[in-house]
């Protein structure tokens, strides 16, 4: 199988209806355009950082990939098979292969379960393991692979007895025990102390090597991507506006929005600092998407054509100027 046939997303949309006009009204229903024509592919054991301000649609995109939301339009395929609408048993199998790690480890864990019960539960749900001995071995391996060693020290403890970083490791272990092929990590370090964020990112970086797991690392903080990601996709108002390798995006950003996000990252070396770009106004309401390029009301280099035409999203085979030239034609 080619690497490109691993996870593919084409023209994915998710609109939420917020109000429906009266029966006799001709007005269209009001829709939140949470995810609006997103396309990308994820390769086996690749790490993609999905970056954007809160409300840009990245978490909704993760829920669509998990099958926890139904797409309004578009195609998601995994290992060559379209998975938009699958039977309950196929969905259960997919949930084993695509696991999610949420932002808040406090909310993800049942406070009345021991760590052993937390990690064992997914095995019971998916009917994995011939007997208790085999399940116990899987639980211990998952804990140790998540950095909680020796596993016996943690098995009988409760979530409240652990630190925030240890709790997030337990959440990751509960995903690992199912031997997933993809982890969707939704802001997995944003609730943690700065001192332990790097540990969790390093853990995910190790897992993609030791277990060949692909990771979609969702974050509002472009600065936290560091050298962890292979590629970076920048989302704005439901769309990916720029995608490229980590070095391309961090060192030669093309889209004005990416440049603005990068300009506010603190850099210790004064000679490496970028000029700070302050964007005009607030992110527009996703119910009323601006015409043309949706970034135009805030873009520092917008031209008149931007109000009516939308350029294609920027891959790093093209520059933003090229995209804008396409727009002006």
Residues contributing to the site for ligand SF4 (CB under 6 A): 255-256, 293, 295-296, 299, 301-302, 306, 311, 320, 324, 327
Render 217-273 in DSSP notation, one character per residue. EEES-GGG-TTT-SEEEEEETTEEEEEEEHHHHHHS--SHHHHHHHHTS--SSGGGP
Indicate the residue among 265 and 277 with the shorter CB distance to ligand SF4.
277
Closest approach of Cβ 36 to ligand SF4, in Å?
Answer: 15
Closest approach of Cβ 264 to ligand SF4, in Å?
Answer: 17
Report residue 140 as tokens. Answer: 């211990």
Indicate the residue among 77 and 318 with the shorter CB distance to ligand SF4.
318
Indicate the residue among 51 and 174 with the shorter CB distance to ligand SF4.
51
Q: CA-to-CA distance for 214 and 204, rounded, in angstroms?
A: 9
Closest approach of Cβ 77 to ligand SF4, in Å?
Answer: 30
Closest approach of Cβ 59 to ligand SF4, in Å?
Answer: 23
Closest approach of Cβ 233 to ligand SF4, in Å?
Answer: 16
Decide the pairing of beta strands 182-186 and 98-101: parallel
Indicate the residue among 14 and 320 with the shorter CB distance to ligand SF4.
320
Indicate the residue among 287 and 326 with the shorter CB distance to ligand SF4.
326
Given a contact cutoff of 8 angstroms between Cβ atoms, the answer to whether 44 and 3 are in contact is: yes
CA distances in angstroms from 56 to 34, 81, 257, 273, listed in the order given: 7, 28, 12, 26
DSSP run (H or E) holding 66: helix 58-66
Residue given tokens 């808040």 in the structure block: 104
């Amino acid at each position: 199988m080619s690497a490109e046939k691993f996870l593919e997303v084409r023209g994915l949309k998710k609109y939420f209806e917020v109000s429906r006009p009266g029966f006799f009204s001709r007005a269209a229903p009001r829709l939140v355009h949470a995810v609006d024509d997103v396309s990308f592919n994820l390769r086996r054991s690749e790490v993609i950082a999905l970056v954007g301000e809160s409300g840009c649609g990245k978490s909704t995109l993760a829920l669509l990939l998990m099958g926890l939301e139904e797409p309004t339009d578009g195609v998601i395929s995994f290992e060559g098979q379209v998975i938009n609408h699958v039977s309950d048993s196929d969905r259960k199998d997919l949930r084993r292969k695509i696991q999610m790690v949420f932002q808040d480890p406090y909310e993800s864990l049942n406070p009345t379960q021991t760590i052993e019960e937390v990690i064992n539960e997914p095995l019971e749900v998916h009917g994995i393991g011939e007997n208790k001995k085999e399940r116990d071995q899987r639980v211990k391996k998952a804990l140790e692979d998540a950095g909680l060693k020796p596993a016996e020290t943690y098995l009988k403890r409760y979530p409240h007895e652990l630190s925030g970083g240890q709790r997030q490791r337990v959440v990751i272990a509960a995903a690992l025990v199912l031997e997933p092929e993809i982890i969707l990590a939704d802001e997995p370090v944003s609730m943690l102390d700065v001192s332990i964020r790097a540990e969790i990112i390093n853990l995910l970086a190790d897992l993609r090597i030791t277990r060949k797991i692909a990771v979609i690392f969702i974050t509002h903080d472009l600065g936290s991507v560091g050298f962890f990601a292979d590629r970076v996709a920048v989302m704005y108002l439901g769309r990916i506006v720029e995608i490229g390798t980590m070095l391309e995006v961090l060192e030669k950003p093309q889209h004005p929005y990416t440049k603005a996000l990068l300009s506010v990252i603190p850099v210790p070396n004064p000679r490496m600092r970028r000029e700070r770009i302050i964007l005009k106004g607030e992110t527009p309401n996703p119910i009323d998407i601006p015409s043309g390029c949706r970034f135009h009301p805030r873009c520092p280099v917008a031209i008149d054509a931007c109000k009516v035409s939308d350029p294609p999203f920027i891959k790093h085979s093209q520059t933003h100027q090229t995209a804008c030239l396409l727009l002006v034609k």
